[in-house]
Amino acid sequence: MPSVRGANLAIDLDDYEPDEQCVWLRHRPESDTPLKNQDAAERPLALDDYYCDVIDEYIRFHRHDVVDDYGREPLITSDRGRLSSGQIRSKVYQLTQPCLYDECPHDRDPEDCEARFYGHYSECPSSLSPHTIRRGSITFQLREDVPEEIVSDRCDVSSDILDRHYDRRTGREKMEQRRKPPRERNSEGSGPETLF
């Protein structure tokens, strides 16, 4: 789960390996898709059946057959080519608005709520930024007893930065996790890696 925007922006169609259930992150600064931590961030990310099904369906029904300015085929596309960082950020804000899935918790009418229009998605009090999703995913993994070293590697973040900026567990939560006998902890860090 590397940077949401940078990783999603960088992935090409042929970086996805459905038979191996993984997607490769590759640092390609020469073609405008660098990774934040450069060559050190290059690696395959494991996917499970669910995420492979989602990607397969996206490719089959929603992906535009386009190439970018460098002749590469991006995985995530618009009808004009590779999405920009700003487009990815905007789409995350839009897709995290609760009124897309249920009633508005803010007593607004979705039909005329300004936050429902392009350029204003982030104005919804409940919409989330890509960084918030990344922080939530990291904290979730830590609460599920995935070892910090595995979370750090999965998310391409140092232990120090993880502790300072991403881990939202309380001191009591950490204490209770330390109290568990080692055999009850998830020592393998199972589960797929995610892009968020």
Same domain (yes/no): 61, 78: yes
Q: Would you say the C-alpha torsion 151, 157, 162, 167 has a positive or negative sign?
A: negative
Q: Is 96 helix (H, G, I), strand (E, B) or coil?
A: coil
Residue segments in the chain with a per-residue pLDDT below the cut of 50: 1-2, 195-196
Radius of gyration of the chain (CA): 18
What's the whole-model pTM score? Answer: 0.76
- Is 192 contained in some domain? no
- How many domains, the chain? 3
Tell me which residue range forms the domain holding 59: 1-83
- Is 70 contained in some domain? yes
d(CA 35, CA 10): 7
Same domain (yes/no): 18, 68: yes
pLDDT single digits (tens) 120-167 = 999 999 999 998 998 999 999 999 989 988 998 888 888 898 888 888
Kindly write down the DSSP assignment for every residue of 30-47, as one continuous string.
GGTB--TTGGGG-EEEE-
Same domain (yes/no): 14, 91: no
Contact yes or no for 57/91 (Cβ under 8 A): no
C-alpha dist (Å) from residue 89 to 29, 96, 98, 122: 20, 11, 17, 9
